[in-house]
Structure formats: C-alpha cells, structure tokens
Structure 1
Amino acid sequence: MLKCQIPNFKSLEVDKLVFDYNGTLACDGQPIESVKEKLNQLAEKFEVYILTADTFGTVENEFKDIEAEIIIIDSNDGSKAKQKFIRQLGSQTVIAVGNGSNDRLMLDEAGLGILVIGSEGASTRSLLESDLLINNINDVLDTILNPQRLVASLRE
C-alpha cells in the first residue's frame, strides 16, 4: 500500500495498480525491458491488474510469470470498460497508468492517473484527464516504488 499526503493536491491511500498493456507495458506486443521485474516488485505491496484488448495476442504468454491479474476487455468499447473496472475496484484506491485515447476515462476515474509517453506516444485527450505525465514506463514504475517523487511532482 502507498500512503502519502501531497500538499495542496490530495491524500493518497492506494493498494491497487491498473496498467494498460500495449503502448504502456509493451510495444508491439512485446514487454518493455525491466517491466516484468518491477511489476513483480510492486506486486509485493499492491494488487496489480493489466487491462487490455490484447491487440497482438501476446499478453497472457508474455506475462504468465508476473504477479498480476490480466483482464481482456472488448476493443469496441475499451474506454468505458476500463473506467468501469476502476470504479469496481474503488476509484480512490487505484493508480491507473496508460497512454492511449482509450485510457482517458480510466485515468480520470482513478485516484491518481499517470500518462506515459513511451515509444508509441500518448493521446492528447488522455493527457488532459491525467494527473501526471512521465516519459516512459520504467520511470513510472520507479516513481511508484519511490512515492516521494509523486509528492515532488504534484504538490502545489
């Protein structure tokens, strides 16, 4: 669990992490280097979920050794499915991480929404709904592992 008070922003009590897959944890269906190791490290403190339409059909095989629950969603209405999933978990107890336009509602719904740019880029619409923008997924994972970085970036 992560507990931290971010001055003039909010108090976080988060025990769940929700990640988009393609463009966030993976590029072209292949996991980004170091992601698996860091996800397992985070799974010691958080419930970890991966939400994906699994465009390339690789997530279950690539992440079979990861302590995360993989949720395959309908690609036709992914944005609303992701938002609904965050609500079911308890929005304020979730950090959501994504990059695409279909992550927009999820990032807005979560207690903390992090947009990752990554090699695929990031949706401007999702940027406007997120709380924090970070260059790549490894920096996102390191920030969650070192929550004082959240305080430094988000305090007013």
Structure 2
Amino acid sequence: MINDINFFNSDIMINIPNYKNINAKTVVFDLNGTLAEDGIVDYETKKLLHKLNKMYNIVVLTADTFGTIKKEFEGYDDITIEIIKNTEEKMNKAKKYTPYIGIGNGNNDVEMLKNAELGIAVIGKEGCSVKALLSSDIVVNDIKDAINLLLNEKRLIATLRK
C-alpha cells in the first residue's frame, strides 16, 4: 500500500515503493540556470515557490553571478538566500539543511545533488551539466516541472517507484 505523505515534526515523508523513503523539510535550490535565467526568476516560478514554501523551507544558494538575487527575492522574507563563493562552500551550506531536497543544473551543484535525499536536475534554457544529470534522481525540462513534482508527490512516486 502506498503511504504517500506523512507530516511529522515539520519533515515531509514521501514513501516511494521499492525505491526509498524521502524525508526532508527543506528544498535547496541553485539560482542561475535552475530557478533563474540570466539571473531573472519569472513570475510563474515565484508563484510556485510561494506554494511550495507552505510545505517546505526554501533555501537558495547562489554565487549571484548576475547580481540580481536581492532584487529578485525582495519581499520574500520566508525564503533563505545564501550567497556562496565556490562549490565547496555551496556543499557546506547545503549540508546545514540535511535532510534536504536539492535542485540544480551545474557542475557546482553535483555534490549538493548527490548528498540530497532527492536530487532533481533541471535542464532549462541554460542546459544541464552531464555530471549534475548523472548525480540526480530525476531530470526535468523546466524548474516549474521540478516544483510541481514536490507540490504533487504522486508524480514523484509514479516516476521513481520500481
């Protein structure tokens, strides 16, 4: 019998038959190429993040290559933004949120994806590195698809169960 979602101590437990139980309370996102294109997060993605934030804590880890992070998330006080300098710092910051779900697209996201309870690679318009792709549990075409997987966990179950 599928036991889709259990809320326990603010963690969300997703039981995926013959795969694993995913237990997390935080979703850690990469910004550029994942949440944003050229540093800009579109309106629909922001609306989905607002919905997702009712279920999970949301963290965005970024080097802020385009210098847009503060403007893009102005007024989103419930989203944690952490500016990082390098890949090692990104992994160390992500580990603070263990257990977490990781969503990224680049070489600097590989360790974050590998160490996540669930790693989701986003191909998006900026592409996805092969290393990030191979380090993920699921690959999607667009960030909206990734967020919608978490908003409707039955999609995760359909994709990952054996």
The count of corresponding residues between Structure 1 and Structure 2 is: 151
Write the deviation string for residues 59-94 of structure 1: whole angstroms up to 9, x where unpaired. 1111112231100000xx2x222221222222xx21
1:63 maps to 73
SS of residue matched to 1:26: coil
Q: Could you tell me how far apart the structure 2 residues matched to 1:87 and 1:8 are?
A: 26
Structure 1 residue 47: deviation in Å?
0.8
Shift of 1:32: 2.8
Q: Is the 8 A contact 1:7 1:151 kept in 2?
A: yes
Q: CA deviation at 1:33?
A: 3.8
Where structure 1 has 5 or more consecutive residues not aligned to the other structure, the ranges are none
Q: Which of residues 8, 28, 37 in structure 1 aligns to 2:38?
A: 28
What is the root-mean-square deviation of aligned Cα atoms in Å? Answer: 1.1
| Structure 1: distance between partners of 2:149 and 2:126 | 20
CA deviation profile, 1:96-138 (whole Å, cap 9, x unmatched):
0001111001000111110000000000011111111011000
Which residue is equivalent to 2:127? 121
Q: Which whole-Å CA distance do the structure 2 matches of 1:46 and 1:40 have between them?
A: 10
Q: Does residue 1:134 correspond to 2:149, yes or no?
A: no
Instruction: Give runs of aligned pairs for residues 7-156 of structure 1, distance below 5 A.
Output: 7-66=17-76, 67-74=78-85, 77=86, 79-90=87-98, 93-156=99-162
Counterparts of 1:33 and 1:122, CA distance in 2: 22
With structure 1 as the length reference, what TM-score do the two structures score? 0.92
Partner SS, residue 32 of structure 2: coil
